[in-house]
Amino acid sequence: LDFGGCKAKGFGLVDPVHGELHYRQGTSYAAPNALHKCIAIRKKYPELGPLALKALMIHTAVRNPQLHCDKYHGYGALPESIDKYVVCGENELTVVYQGHLDPKKYVKAPIPIPAGGLSGKVKIKATLCYATKVDSDTPDSYTRSAIEATLRPNAEKFRDAKATRPNSKPFFEHDRYETETALREFGLKWDTVMSGEAGLIADKSVKDPYFELHYIPREGVRTASSAERMPYALVVTL
């Protein structure tokens, strides 16, 4: 959400012909207002691409705990100050990953830890955006690809001696064994935007944490035999 005027306070518009000030409201004012913030961020940090900017906007959106409703308010309201998107607060660290994923491959996205380590309770928040191709011939499985994002909070903890990867912690997933419909609605299985957070006890469960990204291409309901590289952006806050 961004400000586009309301009954109590309209969006100010200048009429240059008559020299008058008018107040209006609507999404046609809110959308360019949000775009203006994207441009301001891009001007300061030209290395950030469109997907990274999108992920930052969603990642930093503010929710009112008492009034927020996903149906009407989406991910929340965009902060007014540009610093809110790119300046870390106290006891906070944010890292942005962007690039391309190879089909069926895994990418490791480390979460930086201060040199002195961590103690007490920590919170990890992450937002992932990717640009997949679509298949208009199969509307029930419209997107051509998905990313499985797995949080591995402790690189030294394994389920057993045969495990090749550290233990994982559910992050974006609702339940891996749900039905396809539930995986889409709650688990964001084929959604191109995923945002979530998790709390951890640093002393017990955080050691060289990282996200593991797995790019899964498909054709209709089948796994694709071949696919192109796919652009993505991941914003992680500790």
Summarize pLDDT for 132-179 with one digit per residue, the tens.
Answer: 887 777 666 677 788 889 999 998 889 888 888 899 887 876 545 455
10 Å Cβ neighbour count for 166?
Answer: 20
Q: What is the pLDDT of residue 221?
A: 56
Q: What is the pLDDT of residue 71?
A: 83
Q: What percent of the chain has pLDDT over 70?
A: 88
Summarize pLDDT for 74-126 with one digit per residue, the tens.
Answer: 899 999 999 999 999 888 999 999 999 998 889 999 999 888 778 889 999 99
CA 152 to centroid of chain Cα atoms:
17
Summarize pLDDT for 73-84 with one digit per residue, the tens.
Answer: 889 999 999 999
Instruction: Please list, residue by residue across 19-57, b when 16 or more beta carbons sit within 10 angstroms of its beta carbon and e when fewer do.
Output: eeeeeebeeebbeebeeebbeebeeeeeebeebbbbbbb
